[in-house]
Structure 1
Amino acid sequence: MARAIAGLAAAALLAAGARADDRPLGADAAAVRAHVAVLADDALKGRAAGTPEYEKAADYVIAQMAAAGLSPAGTNGDWRQPVTLVAARATGGEGSLLRGSRATRLVPGHDVALLPHWEMAERKTEGEVVFAGHGVIDPARGVDDYRGLDVKGRIVAILLGTPNGLEDDVAAHYGNRDVRAELAARNGAVGILFIEDAGREAFAATARAATGPRVRWAPPAGGGAAPIPQLAVLGEAGAAKLFAGSPIAWAKVRAAERARTALPTGALGRTARFRQLSEQARIASNNVVGRLAGSDPALAGEHVVLTAHLDHVGVGEPVAGDAIHNGAVDNAIGVGAMIEVARRFQREGRRPRRSLLFVALTAEEAGLLGSDYFANHPTVPREGLVANVNIDMPILTYAFQDIVAFGAGRSSIGPVLARVAKAQGIAVTADPQPEEAFFVRSDHYSFVRAGIPSVAIDTGPAGPGAAATAVFLERHYHQPSDEIGLPIDWDAADRFVMLHHALVAELADGPRPKWNAGDYFGTVYGRQ
């Protein structure tokens, strides 16, 4: 395996020295191209998490981290941090609603879509049902859907969708069912039911999708309690059955949802009983973790974490005869940039005051799972994680003039980045597409949910940026055509490395990053 990767690397180095127009590349730009040539090669078959080819890519990253002077910082002194993924699929089950001795069956595919359980082939859950509105909290707006409700030992039912007035990132955050399940668990619930919101149709399609497979990580031995069961998604007919005869009229809930006014909440006076039948498959994968020790004994126990996901989507349906999704832009170039940031610190011969972690993440494409695992089970003491800078799919097919920094405005990272970018002649632009919810679709979001100030930097829309981004997303995103043959501007890639090196150095040498006062995520998750 190592010899095969070494052969790919040698071939990449031979090919890395020129642009498409045959002008020679500078050494730094050529180094990024060489990494992409290896990681996006057909031999690695798209680097899907849990495959032998992903582990070959991990071997390459380990070799490059070692060559850059990093030390292994994975599990038990190794470079790797094992991450066990669990893919769960619903195979059947049943749900019913009880009022006294009378039971009402929920019809799968019509009333209800039964969700899989992550750990058990058969899981039974029973409890009184409490309707908690949208199941959200927003301290800045004084919103707490659990205020005044006793859900301990009960099943929470919530309406999907979000209330009016949430800022875009917070609304996107609550689009994650796991977030709402965690909040229900924190309030003592034993299970959660989701109700389709008023704007959704075609419940049959929802029912088909809900059965899975769904993927999450398995906690390590002794790694804490399992999440509460996500029991089912109810459609319109199922919700009508749930609320029938209750103190809260379903018609009034729907009317309040349409009017975007406060939803009535409270106990529904009935018990739900669910039996989940599921099958699970376990998939072994790994994060790769390297460390550059800090120079200040008082701060070396604190870590700035630079991340980039190593996985891509593997092999899919052929397009023009090509089935391999090479993932050159998504995200071989991000991993290559991360490696080159480490090399810049090595060339400088100066270690920053805080320590740095460089983490190549698995299973981003399955739902940010490698980053979520690392943020919850870091290989260094969790309280020592002070900031995350994430690199994910920078579209470097043009000479970028500005950047978009997801999450930077939520913490003191924002002014540091603005200063560093300005020094390099780069503007910082507000997110031009907040409706796309990019804030919750990249690995920095896992660190945000762990209470760590974080940022993900993307190239911006100025000049040719908007058009170049549109072309990539429409023609190449998650397609076999995301290959090294795209017109990647390797000088721009080198400039992207320079920006990240300067930012990480500033964060490692300066004051500990802090959440902005009153920020939603800092208030809900922050540890400072």
Structure 2
Amino acid sequence: MSSVVFRAVQRAASIGTLVAVGTLTFSALSSFVSAQDAPKSQPVASAPAPRTPLPLKLAPRPTKSAITADDLMTRLYIFADDSLMGRDAGTEGSFKATALLAREAQRLGLQPAGDSGTFFQTLPLKRKKVDPMSSFIAGGASLELSKEWGFKSGSTMTFNDTPVVFGGVMGEQSLLPAEQVAGKLVVLTVPTSQDAVLQSLDGEVDVPAGAAGIILVEPAQAAGVFGYVLSAGAFVDDPAFGGPRLFVGANVMSKLFALPASALKVGTVGTSVNVKAMLDVTPSPFAARNVVAILPGSDPKLRNQYVAVGAHSDHVGMSRRAVDHDSVLIFNRIVRPGGAENDDKMGNTAQFVQINAELAEMRKSSPTRRDSIFNGADDDGSGSVAVQEIAEMLSTMKVKPKRSTLFVWHVGEEKGLWGSKFFTAHPTVSRDSIVAQLNIDMVGRGSATDLTGTSKDGQDLRGGPDYLQLVGSRRLSTELGDLVESVNTTKKHNLVFDYGMDASAHPMNIYCRSDHYEYAKWGVPVTFFTTGGHSAYHQLTDEPQYIDYPHMERVAKLIADVALELGNRLGRPVVNQPKLDPRGTCKQ
């Protein structure tokens, strides 16, 4: 699941927290400060550090047609192995992981549904480096890069003596006629709200035909966005990810126009600017690829409709230095039970006494193990291999579902839903033919000792032997939500559904943080299945040895039965709730 930490700008709890984040932060501590140096706050956890009977490594075994805990274990030990180096999108590890998924899809007899008859849909992934000599001169003044201005583009942008014209407030502006904007940069002010800032960064913004480009004026509270948009790294060069644009701070308005901002009228022409927004752009050394496969339906009339089942194949890669795995394991369980969701917690004196005592006890039987790989066993190795198991079960049935089943392993979810955004913008089947999307992300934990999330009012949510979270199941189609409940009961799965994270306006914003949203925004009914968060979320300790495979088997079997019901029922789930704006920003 996409992280609050990694996508700090997208996930900010308020407009004031919009800051530049270049790399994922994590609680990988190689040693602990002494108890007297630790901050004195936060309660102490009482349960001892969990020990697992599962091995660090496991020899692979042949899988069976049925969904089983043993098969899930075999698959996950392969998919979350150190050799895949954390599966960060656009790296060798992710490339190898997608190759594994495609080979298995082929072995199962699925049909390729990617590019040019392959199982791969390749994203136009590139790497950028901003030239620090980039310049923006307005009203005779040179603006400071990353503090007063920034830009987002797939290539260098140059504007010489280009006049600006005021276009109003972003999202509210009336598009100016072509003759008023021809050859000019249109200036739009961004409202002071989190949603508006997010829209300005990554959403589509209407640009009048004939304009040279747009300048978005960010509110003073969001000055940190400049560092975010300028940060070096990978990006997807595609219109679905937002077109090129310039950003300036609110204080720059006085350099663009003679009149104060409050007195400007739409169509007011300002000064001329000179901009050199220079980028060094190179192709990604390794392709970022969705893996797309189809199990054809058995009914001639319904086989052109699809039940989509998906997960994301990527995780967050590797850290720059190796640390003590067991220290991280104990520290997070005691101080940061939500993993990366709790990265602001530092621990108190009593907690560090407990941490050091437990670590000393563990050292009696376990030597120090240095670790630098975020294996992503639960996030989202568990979902990826659950999709494989569901595909194997459905593909070995004598009578296949009437509708076709569309399996998509999305890449780059951790980067900002890259793969699902690209697939739904450029679907390899008709988007309208997808009757529902079942998203599987983090289904390998959910025990009573796991902090699976918090309620909207801040109360801790905990798992249990029958635990499963559902998100989004009735947001577009109440019929789909009812269907999931019915399958759980009639097929005797007897899982206990927790809808606490699905509450409207929930501050953790889970509905917007995994791949189902990119389908929902186009009107496709969705259900997000997850066993929720835990102390290994986006940590080095998210490894196959800590997964609850029998529980994971129950969840995968439920989802398989939901897919079967959707594949065989006469009608598609009716969309009876308000549709979303596919160009807008997600709101839970």
Q: Which amino acid is the alignment partner of residue 95 of structure 1?
A: F
CA distance in 2, matches of 1:51, 1:447: 26
- Cα deviation for residue 127 of structure 1 reads 5.3
Q: 2:471 aligns with which of 405, 422, 428?
A: 405
Q: 2:262 aligns with which of 248, 268, 271?
A: 248
- Cα deviation for residue 344 of structure 1 reads 2.2
Q: 2:143 aligns with which of 101, 107, 119?
A: 107
Q: 1:195 aligns with which of 207, 211, 217?
A: 217
Counterpart residue number, 1:315? 318
Q: Which amino acid is the alignment partner of residue 354 of structure 1?
A: R
Cα 1:77–1:508 change in 2 (3 A) is: same
1:95 equivalent to 2:136? Answer: yes
Cα 1:418–1:111 change in 2 (3 A) is: same
Counterpart residue number, 2:60? 12
CA distance in 1, matches of 2:146, 2:80: 44
Deviations, residues 242-269 of structure 1 (Å, cap 9, x unaligned): 45514624xxxxxxxxxxxxxx973443
Tell me if the contact between 2:187 and 2:215 (Cα under 8 Å) persists in the aligned partners: yes
CA distance in 1, matches of 2:422, 2:240: 14
Tell me if the contact between 1:90 and 1:277 (Cα under 8 Å) persists in the aligned partners: yes
- Cα deviation for residue 147 of structure 1 reads 4.7
Pairing 1:301-340 to 2, within 5 Å after superposition: 301-317=304-320, 318-320=322-324, 321-340=370-389
Cα 1:124–1:379 change in 2 (3 A) is: same
* Structure 1 segments unaligned to the other structure (5+ residues): 1-7, 18-25, 98-102, 137-144, 163-170, 250-263, 461-468
Tell me if the contact between 2:67 and 2:557 (Cα under 8 Å) persists in the aligned partners: no
Cα 1:174–1:198 change in 2 (3 A) is: closer
1:377 equivalent to 2:377? Answer: no
- Cα deviation for residue 62 of structure 1 reads 2.3
Tell me if the contact between 2:120 and 2:289 (Cα under 8 Å) persists in the aligned partners: yes
- Cα deviation for residue 148 of structure 1 reads 7.3
User: Secondary structure of the residue that 1:478 maps to in structure 2?
Assistant: coil
Tell me if the contact between 1:86 and 1:218 (Cα under 8 Å) persists in the aligned partners: yes
CA distance in 1, matches of 2:430, 2:67: 37
- Cα deviation for residue 278 of structure 1 reads 0.9
CA distance in 1, matches of 2:520, 2:567: 18
Cα 1:450–1:275 change in 2 (3 A) is: farther
- Cα deviation for residue 314 of structure 1 reads 1.5
Tell me if the contact between 1:114 and 1:211 (Cα under 8 Å) persists in the aligned partners: yes
Tell me if the contact between 1:172 and 1:437 (Cα under 8 Å) persists in the aligned partners: no
Pairing 1:271-310 to 2, within 5 Å after superposition: 271=271, 273=273, 274-283=275-284, 284-310=287-313
Pairing 1:34-53 to 2, within 5 Å after superposition: 34-53=74-93
Cα 1:500–1:27 change in 2 (3 A) is: closer
Deviations, residues 427-453 of structure 1 (Å, cap 9, x unaligned): 351425821222222112222344433
Q: Which amino acid is the alignment partner of residue 304 of structure 1?
A: V
TM-score w.r.t. the length of structure 1 is 0.75
User: Secondary structure of the residue that 2:126 maps to in structure 1?
Assistant: strand
Greater CA drift, 395-404 or 350-359: 395-404
CA distance in 2, matches of 1:265, 1:443: 41
Tell me if the contact between 1:173 and 1:179 (Cα under 8 Å) persists in the aligned partners: no
Q: CA-atom RMSD, angstroms? A: 3.5
CA distance in 2, matches of 1:37, 1:111: 45
- Cα deviation for residue 455 of structure 1 reads 3.2
User: Secondary structure of the residue that 1:36 maps to in structure 2?
Assistant: helix
Pairing 1:357-376 to 2, within 5 Å after superposition: 357-376=406-425
Tell me if the contact between 2:298 and 2:401 (Cα under 8 Å) persists in the aligned partners: yes
User: Secondary structure of the residue that 1:237 maps to in structure 2?
Assistant: helix
CA distance in 2, matches of 1:246, 1:207: 23
Tell me if the contact between 1:300 and 1:353 (Cα under 8 Å) persists in the aligned partners: yes
Q: 1:350 aligns with which of 393, 396, 399?
A: 399
Cα 1:445–1:271 change in 2 (3 A) is: farther
Q: 1:146 aligns with which of 173, 189, 196?
A: 173
Q: Which amino acid is the alignment partner of residue 391 of structure 1?
A: I
Counterpart residue number, 1:71? 111
CA distance in 2, matches of 1:439, 1:185: 29
User: Secondary structure of the residue that 1:50 maps to in structure 2?
Assistant: coil
Tell me if the contact between 2:80 and 2:377 (Cα under 8 Å) persists in the aligned partners: yes
Cα 1:226–1:457 change in 2 (3 A) is: closer
Counterpart residue number, 1:387? 436
Q: Which amino acid is the alignment partner of residue 192 of structure 1?
A: I
CA distance in 1, matches of 2:302, 2:121: 24
Cα 1:440–1:287 change in 2 (3 A) is: same
Pairing 1:440-451 to 2, within 5 Å after superposition: 440-451=512-523
Tell me if the contact between 2:476 and 2:523 (Cα under 8 Å) persists in the aligned partners: no
CA distance in 2, matches of 1:49, 1:522: 24
Tell me if the contact between 1:110 and 1:238 (Cα under 8 Å) persists in the aligned partners: no
Counterpart residue number, 1:130? 166
- Cα deviation for residue 117 of structure 1 reads 2.0
Cα 1:482–1:508 change in 2 (3 A) is: same
Counterpart residue number, 1:427? 497
Q: Which amino acid is the alignment partner of residue 156 of structure 2?
A: A
Q: Which amino acid is the alignment partner of residue 554 of structure 2?
A: R
CA distance in 1, matches of 2:192, 2:306: 37
- Cα deviation for residue 195 of structure 1 reads 3.2
Deviations, residues 402-451 of structure 1 (Å, cap 9, x unaligned): 42313641235333333334443333514258212222221122223444
CA distance in 2, matches of 1:501, 1:362: 22
Q: Which amino acid is the alignment partner of residue 339 of structure 1?
A: Q
Tell me if the contact between 1:88 and 1:117 (Cα under 8 Å) persists in the aligned partners: no
Q: Which amino acid is the alignment partner of residue 548 of structure 2?
A: D
TM-score w.r.t. the length of structure 2 is 0.68
Identity, % of aligned pairs?
27
User: Secondary structure of the residue that 1:248 maps to in structure 2?
Assistant: helix
